[in-house]
């Protein structure tokens, strides 16, 4: 219901990614922000396609992928690479969809701030609910998934 009634990607204070990045780290769990790097961060998707749907987001607010500096590009790729073993250890998916939607017409829910998606996939994770009901069934609360992923990060990446 939250997804159906929400004004997705719109925040009265501006960009939700910028707002979450600017918030104090004590609010990271509530914002589903998992990791803060020097140039980019990892956040869970509030409206996930599947459990464990992550996004790698640069701090720089831009819709233009080509406007990102080399350091930001490099860190985004490193964080993307770190997400694979993170998801593997915490959730054991069978595969991943990884990509970017650049522009609203390409499907970007937050078109004014570039970000990469990492969606874990399992055999049979698409069923009649998606096809007939145009809805997703998530077997785990976002907060439970966050805690699993955060525990792995704390154990293996450090704080």
Q: Closest Cα to residue 34, out of 126, 139, 130, 151?
A: 151
- Domains assigned to the chain: 2-156 (3.30.428.10)
**Contact assessment for residue 76 and residue 82, using Cβ atoms and an 8 Å cutoff:** no
pLDDT-derived band at 79, boundaries 50, 70, 90: very high
Whether residue 68 has pLDDT greater than 70: yes
- Active-site residue set: 115
pLDDT at 6: 57
pLDDT-derived band at 119, boundaries 50, 70, 90: very high
Q: Return mean pLDDT, the chain.
A: 86
Structure tokens at 5: 């009634």
Can you say whether the dihedral through the CA atoms of 80, 126, 51, 66 is positive or negative?
positive
pLDDT at 129: 47
Percent of the chain with pLDDT over 90: 64
pLDDT tens for each residue of 12-47 = 558 999 999 999 999 999 999 999 999 999 999 988
Structure tokens at 146: 């966050």
Arithmetic mean of pLDDT, 118-122:
92
Q: How far apart are CA 29 and CA 123, in angstroms?
A: 29
Full-model pTM: 0.84
């Amino acid at each position: 219901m939250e997804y159906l009634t929400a004004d997705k990607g719109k925040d009265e204070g501006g960009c939700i990614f910028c707002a979450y990045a600017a918030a104090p780290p004590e609010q990271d769990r509530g914002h589903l922000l998992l990791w803060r790097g020097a140039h980019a961060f990892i956040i869970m998707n509030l409206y996930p396609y599947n459990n464990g749907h992550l996004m790698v987001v640069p701090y720089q607010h831009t819709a233009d992928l080509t406007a990102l500096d080399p350091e930001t590009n490099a860190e985004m790729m490193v964080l993307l690479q770190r997400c694979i073993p993170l998801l593997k250890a915490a959730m054991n998916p069978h595969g991943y969809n990884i990509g970017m939607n650049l522009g609203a017409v390409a499907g970007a829910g937050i078109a004014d701030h570039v970000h990469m998606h990492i969606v874990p996939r399992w055999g049979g994770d698409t069923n009649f609910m998606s096809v007939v009901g145009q809805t997703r069934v998530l077997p785990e609360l976002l907060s439970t998934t966050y805690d699993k992923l955060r525990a792995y990060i704390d154990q293996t990446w450090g704080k």
